[in-house]
């Protein structure tokens, strides 16, 4: 028996959740009832169509406002002077670099346990913007470190574990891309990618705790549960920038999920034409 291409509907159009069933017997997805709604690709795409621009536009407005406010209005810091302004890009980017891998980890868990048809796609969609924010965080941090610490880079716990996160992203992107190309042969590539996503998540608490466990040049966390050692003048625009960046991240993930689904659909169509 020729294994069917996962996610590709026979008719070329998605109508119901049944279209998502994987090829071989016993491999069908098995979702708890509340997740069934979103397993319907047509419904997911309908929702993504209006949610994506909403997230992108509101996120762009919020982050633009907050970053401009941080660049022009916020007073210079007592010690750092003007370089404090890089905070408004560095901190939201750092948060999203880690939130991006957390998204991958959750998607991987859902893929492994419930075999949700959208899980592998969501993980793959989150990887590229996550890697981009990780790179932005490392670059802006380096630019800030030169005038503040007196060096571009040091191999302390925080910086090293964050650089490892960037390499994990590269690995995940390569692996998920290969799994996608291999889908026809049904080699279980998505499962290998998901295992990598879960194992890589161990780095997230290490990044978070690195400045507490080990002496590091990077400062300890300024914002801990309910408390902040960042003055209110600096803090409010920072929180708004973090919210704005997060909305942009959500919008980009939805856009990439739509793109990946369209890719799969087009691929299936081509294959059918080639067979006919």
Helix (H, G, I), strand (E, B) or coil at 3: coil
Is 77 near another protein (CB under 8 A)? yes
Interface residue with another protein among 229, 266, 270, 271 (CB under 8 A) is 229
CA 46 to chain centre: 22
Report the distance separating Cα 108 and Cα 199, nearest Å.
10
**Residue closest to 216 by CA, chosen among 164, 154, 163:** 154
Q: How far is the CB of 186 from another protein (least distance, A)?
A: 15
Interface residue with another protein among 114, 153, 163, 208 (CB under 8 A) is 114
Nearer to another protein, 38 or 114 (CB): 114
Residues 33-72 that bind another protein (CB under 8 A): none
What token pair was written down for 60?
């762009």
Letters for 91-110 (x = contact with another protein by CB under 8 A, - = none) are: ------------------x-
Is 81 near another protein (CB under 8 A)? yes
Letters for 236-265 (x = contact with another protein by CB under 8 A, - = none) are: ------------------------------
Task: Single out the segment in contact with another protein by CB under 8 A; choices: 4-12, 55-63, 133-141, 197-205.
Answer: 197-205
Binding-site size, another protein (CB under 8 A): 52
Q: What DSSP line would sit under 83-97, residue for residue?
A: GGGGHHHHHHHHHHH
Q: 104 exposed, middle or buried (CB, 10 Å; 0-12, 13-18, 19+)?
A: buried
Report the DSSP beta bridge partners of residue 236: none
What token pair was written down for 51?
């949610």
**What angle, 0 to 180 degrees and rounded to 10, lies between the N-to-C axes of helices 87-113 and 119-149?**
150
Report the distance separating Cα 95 and Cα 142, nearest Å.
16
Q: How far is the CB of 275 from another protein (least distance, A)?
A: 25
Interface residue with another protein among 40, 190, 216, 246 (CB under 8 A) is 216
Interface residue list for another protein (CB under 8 A): 21, 25-28, 30, 74-81, 84, 87, 109, 112-115, 147-151, 154-157, 198-199, 202, 205-206, 209, 213-217, 219-222, 229-235
């Amino acid at each position: 028996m020729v294994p069917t291409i996962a996610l590709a509907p026979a008719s070329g159009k998605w109508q119901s959740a049944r279209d998502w069933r994987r090829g071989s017997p016993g491999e069908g997805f098995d979702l708890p009832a509340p997740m069934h709604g979103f397993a319907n690709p047509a419904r997911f795409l309908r929702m993504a169509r209006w949610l994506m621009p909403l997230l992108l536009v509101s996120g762009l407005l919020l982050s633009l406002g907050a970053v401009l406010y941080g660049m022009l209005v916020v007073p210079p810091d007592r010690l750092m002077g003007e370089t404090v302004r890089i905070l408004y890009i560095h901190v939201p980017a750092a948060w999203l670099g880690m939130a991006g891998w957390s998204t991958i980890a959750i998607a991987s868990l859902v893929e492994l346990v419930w075999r949700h048809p959208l899980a592998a796609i969501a993980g793959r969609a989150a990887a590229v913007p996550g890697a981009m924010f990780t790179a932005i965080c490392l670059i802006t941090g380096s630019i800030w470190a030169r005038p503040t610490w007196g060096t571009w880079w040091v191999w302390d716990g925080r910086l090293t574990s964050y650089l490892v996160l960037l390499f994990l992203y590269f690995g995940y992107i390569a692996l998920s891309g290969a799994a996608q190309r291999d889908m026809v042969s049904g080699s279980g590539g998505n499962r290998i990618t998901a295992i990598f996503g879960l194992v890589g998540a161990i780095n997230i608490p290490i990044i978070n705790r690195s400045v507490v466990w080990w002496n590091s040049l990077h400062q300890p966390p300024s914002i801990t549960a309910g408390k902040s050692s960042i003055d209110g003048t600096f803090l409010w625009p920072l929180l708004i920038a973090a919210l704005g960046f997060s909305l942009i991240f959500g919008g980009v993930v939805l856009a990439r999920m739509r793109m990946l689904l369209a890719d799969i659909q087009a691929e299936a169509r081509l294959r059918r034409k080639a067979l006919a």
